[in-house]
């Protein structure tokens, strides 16, 4: 008999009932270190008091009015994000997939708005992940996500992460080039900074827009507010989600005024996107992450975690091959099957997340402490030792 919840996930038996910072507590009272952070969502851990206060205060005032009316909460959040980024405007969504949908539509609409109606193609990259909508799975094109859902949407031209391939793919039909500055689902692969700079140049030279998908790597995860800041380039459009809500479902499609010129009344919409609750929490998240010293803490903890993961790899060559990543978005390249490593971690009381290329993602809350990193490494060592002995 089919479960009452559609079985689209291979769920574990964990029944978490409570969260405290970097910890999750299951129904039996056992404590687990959460170094997956809900796949980079819980950027401030679980039940952060400032996020709880922001949500509780807003819940007592107003939950929803629809987007038919002025939304001061959206105006406050958008003003802050514009102040912090390249963006002049943005559309709020419920998720990252919806933010990417808006990004693709904004790019095509921009080209149509300026009379370049033949520019409908989006150049995307092998290994990238842009969500599970039809446009998302059409952009990724992997069999794992697309099998059985065809025909996929046309208009996506997929290339390897290679500048010659990009130059060959970009042409008179190109509306935009779209990339994740750090591949998440694709295996924690940071894109070279020179590569991102070159994409900016190629887009400008060819009349195309540049889209960055920072749904997983954004909002402080790499040690800068957004990952592309390390490269010193800005996109025309950027999708964010996950960390911006700290666990509350909210995303956004940020854009320059020029890129968003075609997005006029009636061109796009969302019933719940940018509701008062999500915007209140996102503002609290931004206040914490942009507080003096917060990103310095992220970078210090990232250095310690990476160093300790390196020692773990050296100690268990039958289990691990290498570490990679940026900031607190790290990956362990595994020799053993990554699903076995994740399961052994479960047994040792630490949560991580598998990704492509036999990677285990290690992504703790950004406010993780050094003691918690030490405890995590002890538990990962216990997990690896169990696999060594198997």
pLDDT single digits (tens) 13-27: 999 999 999 999 999
Q: Are 220 and 297 in contact (CB under 8 A)?
A: no
Catalytic residue positions, numbered: 129, 213, 242
Handedness of CA 213, 218, 222, 227 (dihedral sign): positive
- DSSP structural state of residue 229: G
Q: Are 23 and 46 in contact (CB under 8 A)?
A: yes
Which tokens sit at 229? 């800041």
Class of residue 284 by CB neighbours under 10 A (exposed 0-12, middle 13-18, buried 19+): buried
pLDDT at 62: 98
Cα gap 259→222, rounded to integer Å: 26
Q: Is residue 275 part of a domain?
A: yes
Q: Which of 240, 265, 290 is the last residue of a domain?
A: 290
Same domain (yes/no): 200, 243 = yes
Look up tokens 């193609």; give the residue.
121
Query: Does the pLDDT at position 142 exceed 90?
Result: no
Mean pLDDT of 228-243: 98
Class of residue 7 by CB neighbours under 10 A (exposed 0-12, middle 13-18, buried 19+): exposed
Mean pLDDT of 241-256: 98
Which residues are known binding-site members? 96-97, 129, 132, 213-216, 270-271
* pLDDT class of 100 with cuts at 50, 70, 90: very high
SS3 47: coil
Cα gap 339→343, rounded to integer Å: 6
* pLDDT class of 144 with cuts at 50, 70, 90: confident
Q: Are 116 and 265 in contact (CB under 8 A)?
A: no
Same domain (yes/no): 130, 245 = yes
Which residues are known binding-site members for N(2)-acetyl-L-ornithine? 132, 270
Same domain (yes/no): 253, 304 = no
Q: Is residue 69 part of a domain?
A: yes
Note down the domain range covering 25.
16-34+293-389
Q: Determine the straight-line distance between the first and last CA of the chain, rounded to whole angstroms.
A: 35
Mean pLDDT of 72-78: 98
Query: Does the pLDDT at position 141 exceed 90?
Result: no
Percentage of the residues of the chain whose pLDDT score is greater than 70 = 100
Number of domains in the chain: 2
Q: Is residue 8 part of a domain?
A: no
Same domain (yes/no): 230, 300 = no
Q: Which of 262, 290, 318 is the last residue of a domain?
A: 290
CATH number at residue 365: 3.90.1150.10
Q: Which of 240, 267, 290 is the last residue of a domain?
A: 290
* pLDDT class of 43 with cuts at 50, 70, 90: very high
Q: Write down the mean pLDDT value for the chain.
A: 97
Same domain (yes/no): 364, 234 = no
Q: How far is CA 217 from CA 39, 223, 227, 330, in A?
A: 10, 10, 6, 11
pTM recorded for the entire structure? 0.97
Q: Is residue 10 part of a domain?
A: no
* pLDDT class of 180 with cuts at 50, 70, 90: very high
Q: Is residue 245 part of a domain?
A: yes
Q: Are 169 and 159 in contact (CB under 8 A)?
A: yes
Q: How far is CA 118 from CA 112, 164, 175, in A?
A: 8, 23, 9
Same domain (yes/no): 284, 335 = no
Q: Is residue 20 part of a domain?
A: yes
- Top pLDDT among 197 and 142 is at 197
pLDDT at 325: 98
* pLDDT class of 390 with cuts at 50, 70, 90: confident
Same domain (yes/no): 178, 245 = yes
Mean pLDDT of 348-369: 98
Query: Does the pLDDT at position 270 exceed 90?
Result: yes
* pLDDT class of 78 with cuts at 50, 70, 90: very high
Which residues are known binding-site members for pyridoxal 5'-phosphate? 96-97, 129, 213-216, 271
Which tokens sit at 361? 């993602």
Listed residue (73, 35, 20, 23) closest to 361, CA to CA: 35
Cα gap 297→365, rounded to integer Å: 12
* pLDDT class of 175 with cuts at 50, 70, 90: very high
SS3 string, 49-94, reads HHHHHHHHHHHCCCCCCCCCCCCHHHHHHHHHHHHHCCCCEEEEEC
CATH number at residue 53: 3.40.640.10
């Amino acid at each position: 008999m089919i479960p009452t919840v559609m079985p689209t996930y291979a769920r574990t038996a964990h029944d978490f009932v409570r969260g405290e910072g970097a910890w999750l507590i299951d129904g039996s009272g056992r404590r687990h270190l959460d170094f997956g952070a809900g796949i980079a969502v819980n950027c401030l851990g679980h039940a952060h008091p400032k996020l709880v206060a922001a949500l509780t205060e807003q819940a007592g005032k107003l939950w929803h009015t629809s987007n038919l009316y002025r939304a001061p909460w959206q105006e406050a959040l958008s003003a802050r994000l514009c102040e912090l980024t390249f963006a002049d405007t943005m559309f709020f969504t419920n998720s990252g997939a919806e933010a990417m949908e808006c990004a693709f539509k904004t790019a095509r609409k921009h080209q149509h708005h300026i009379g370049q109606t033949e520019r409908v193609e989006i150049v995307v990259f092998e290994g990238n992940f842009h969500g599970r909508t039809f446009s998302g799975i059409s952009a990724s094109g992997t069999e794992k996500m697309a099998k059985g859902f065809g025909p996929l949407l046309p208009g996506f031209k997929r290339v390897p992460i290679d500048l010659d391939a990009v130059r060959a793919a970009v042409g008179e039909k190109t509306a935009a080039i779209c990339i994740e500055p750090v591949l998440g689902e694709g295996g924690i692969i940071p894109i070279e900074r020179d590569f991102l700079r070159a994409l900016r140049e190629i887009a400008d030279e060819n009349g195309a827009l540049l889209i960055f998908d920072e749904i997983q790597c954004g909002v402080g995860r790499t040690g800068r507010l957004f990952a592309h800041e390390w490269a010193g380039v800005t996109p025309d459009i950027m999708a964010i989600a996950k960390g911006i809500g700290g666990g509350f479902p909210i995303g956004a499609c940020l854009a320059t005024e020029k890129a968003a010129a075609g997005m006029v009344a009636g061109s796009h919409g969302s019933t719940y996107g940018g509701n008062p609750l999500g915007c209140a929490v996102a503002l609290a998240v931004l206040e914490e992450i942009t507080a003096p010293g917060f990103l310095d803490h992220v970078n210090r903890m990232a250095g310690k975690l990476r160093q300790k993961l390196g020692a773990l790899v050296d100690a268990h060559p039958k289990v691990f091959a290498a570490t990679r990543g940026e900031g607190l978005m790290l990956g362990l390249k595994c020799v053993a099957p990554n699903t076995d490593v994740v399961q052994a971690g479960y047994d040792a009381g630490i949560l991580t997340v598998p990704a492509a290329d036999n990677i285990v993602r290690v992504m703790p809350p950004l406010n993780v402490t050094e003691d918690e990193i030490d405890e995590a490494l002890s538990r990962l060592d216990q997990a690896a030792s169990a696999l060594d002995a198997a």
